[in-house]
Structures are given as structure tokens and as C-alpha cells.
Structure 1
Amino acid sequence: MYYNCSIVDDEQHAIEALNDYIKEIDFLKVTSIFNNPLDALNTIGKGEMIDFLFLDIDMDGMAGTELSKHLRDKARFVIYASSNLEHEVRMLDSSFECYLGKPISMKRFASTIETLVRINNLPISN
């Protein structure tokens, strides 16, 4: 069993870092990656539920906070991965589950995922 993850970020190095971190956790799997929020909106909006949606805030075409409003019913957890300060993000959108400040460390990433899984009583057996 695994939980599917989608990454939406317009910076390739940020996408690669998140992708690498997700691969390190046995029960996570990247199912889609987007460097354009409008593409993510069209694809995710028409697709299956996502377990973890990782969003950047500042992207060309649509801010991650706006994208989150459109995709909230398609994602179990919305996690912002951004260089914006967390309190600034909370002023724009208070409905997300977690915030990861860039640059993201593997330790912080793993801790965030483990906490979400634990407090929501999600199974992690493979």
C-alpha cells in the first residue's frame, strides 16, 4: 500500500528535492509532477483523489494558495513547500495541513509526513 503524491512547483530543483524525499519513504509514491499550476488544475481536477498535494506558493499563472482552493476536495492533505514565511501563508490560506519552509531538509520532510500519518491513524503497512 502506498499514498499517492502530486508535486506542483515551478522550480525544477524544488521538484527534484521533493521527488527524492518522497522516494525515500516506503509508503509514498509520486503519481504526478507539474511545473505549471494551470496544468495541475486541469489534470488533478479531473482525476482521482490525491493523498498528499505538495504546492509552492509563488508560481506564474496561479498562486499555490489559489490552486489549493480549487483542488482542496481532491487532496487528503495539502502541504505548502515554500520560501514564504509560514505566518504569511496562513494569512492567505489557513486550511492547509502543513508548511515546509524551503530549503526543505529530509529530516523535516519525513517528520511532517510521519506526523500526518500518525495523527490521522493511517495504515502504513506494505
Structure 2
Amino acid sequence: MIRSCYIIDDELHGIEVLAKYVQQTPGLELIGTETDPLEALRKISTKEIKPDITFLDVEMPELSGIELSYLIRDKTEIVFSTAFKNYAYRAYDANAIDFLLKPISYERFLQALDKIYAKKNTAPIEPVNNFIFIQPDNKKNHLKLNTDEITHIEGLSNYVKIHTQSEKVYTIYTSLKLILEKLPPSLFLRSHKSFIVNLKFVEVINGNEITIKGNHIIPIGGFFRKELMNKI
């Protein structure tokens, strides 16, 4: 199940951080951002935008995040974000799922999601099959590919290259984010903004590089290092 996310923050930096987290997290889709709380209220109230999860800044002009939350909390799950910890008790009084203190780490962001999934009594990602169907080179036929044959996936502009244990490489027109959602989360994760790796084939991690079976060298992006090390 894909959950739609909306970010309301009068500061662009706050939006950029959360937008990056949403976009790199399987099972989430960013459907909009807004710096004006009154405009956000209009969009949600008229159902112009229907978010499952709203990340809401507390300190905003004209209408505070706390005030806004009382007006939209029956339409969306709310996660507050702020640089001021003294707002925490008011956030929970407003029945928010969580309260994120800026600067927000990705790990803390994921903890907030866990609370939402626990409330809904669902897993973050629905069970994934051990195969996917792909259309290599944008052809009409669909090819069934076992996921345990995939060693790594490389993102290139608006398409990806799927590398396999047999050294076959399939080019398909999609994004890393979309294909990651179809893969077993216990084995596949992003090591870099341009790469997904299958942990099953990782042989060596040395500095900022991963050696995949077959002597393929994959870079590790600083942003993805912590998740990778936690996974292994």
C-alpha cells in the first residue's frame, strides 16, 4: 500500500529535508508541499489534495500548525515538526502521531512512520513476491525476473539497468524509487542515490565502496551509509 504524504512548512529548508526522506522511502509518495498554512487548509478541506500523512510545522504565520491540526485531523494522520521542544505536549494533545524535533534525522523520520503503521496495524510495506515483471528496452512483452538473481540496479536519468548474477543486464524505463518498492525490503536497499544493492551478493564493504559478487564496485553515498550499516 502506497501512502500519500503532504508537507506544510513555511520554511523551504524544512520542506526539502522531509521531501527527500519521503522520496527515498519505499511505500511513500509525495503528493504536494505548501508554505502557506491557509492554502494548505483550503486544499485539504476541499479534497483538492487527500494526504494519508501530513508533516506539519508548528511555527507558521497567520495559522499555527497546532491550530491547523484541529481543522484537518479527521482527514489525515499528522506528524508535527518544529525546532522548539516546548511544543511537544501541545502536539500530543492535538492527537498527533508523533513530534519531530528539527534537525530531523532519517532514522527519527522512520520511527514516526513505524508509529503510523502500528496504529493502522499494518506493516510498512505489503508482502513482496520473489519475482518482478519487467519490460526490457521498452518492448511490449513482459519478462518474469526472480529477484534473487538481481545483484544490483543502477539508475540512469529516466531509466534503470538491472544487473543479474548471470551477467545479463536489463534496461527498463522506470525510477529507482518505483522499482525498489517492488523488491523484498529485507534484501534490497539503496547504497547511493544512483544504486540499489542486493545484500545477498555483497562481498566486501571498504570505505565508501561495496564489492558485489562478480567484482562490481558500487559507491556508498554518505546519506545512505547509516541505513546500510544497520542492515548488515
**RMSD, aligned CA:** 1.7
Write the distance in 1 (CA, Å) between the matches of 2:101 and 2:89.
Answer: 13
Runs of 4+ in structure 1 over 3 Å off: none
Q: Which residue of 2 aligns with 1:56?
A: 57
Instruction: Flag the structure with higher helix content.
Output: 1
Taking a change above 3 Å as real, the CA distance of residues 13 and 120 of structure 1, as seen in their structure-2 partners, is same
Q: CA offsets, 1:41-74, max 9 Å, x none?
A: 0001111542111100010121000000111111
TM-score (norm 2): 0.50
Q: Which residue of 1 aligns with 2:84?
A: 84
Q: Which has the higher contact order (CA 8 A, sep 6+)?
A: 1
Identify which range, 21-30 or 114-123, moves more after superposition: 114-123
**Structure 2: segments with no counterpart, 5+ residues:** 127-180, 182-232
Identity %: 31
Instruction: Flag the structure with higher strand content.
Output: 2
**Structure 1: segments with no counterpart, 5+ residues:** none
Write the distance in 2 (CA, Å) between the matches of 1:89 and 1:60.
Answer: 19
Report how many aligned residue pairs link the two structures: 124
Q: CA offsets, 1:91-121, max 9 Å, x none?
A: 3651111010000001110122123213422
The secondary structure found in structure 2 opposite 1:25 is: coil
Which of the pair has more CA radius of gyration?
A: 2
The secondary structure found in structure 1 opposite 2:78 is: strand
Write the distance in 2 (CA, Å) between the matches of 1:25 and 1:99.
Answer: 19
Write the distance in 1 (CA, Å) between the matches of 2:96 and 2:78.
Answer: 5
Residues 91 and 99 of structure 2 are in contact (CA less than 8 Å); yes or no, is this contact kept in structure 1?
no
Residues 8 and 33 of structure 1 are in contact (CA less than 8 Å); yes or no, is this contact kept in structure 2?
yes
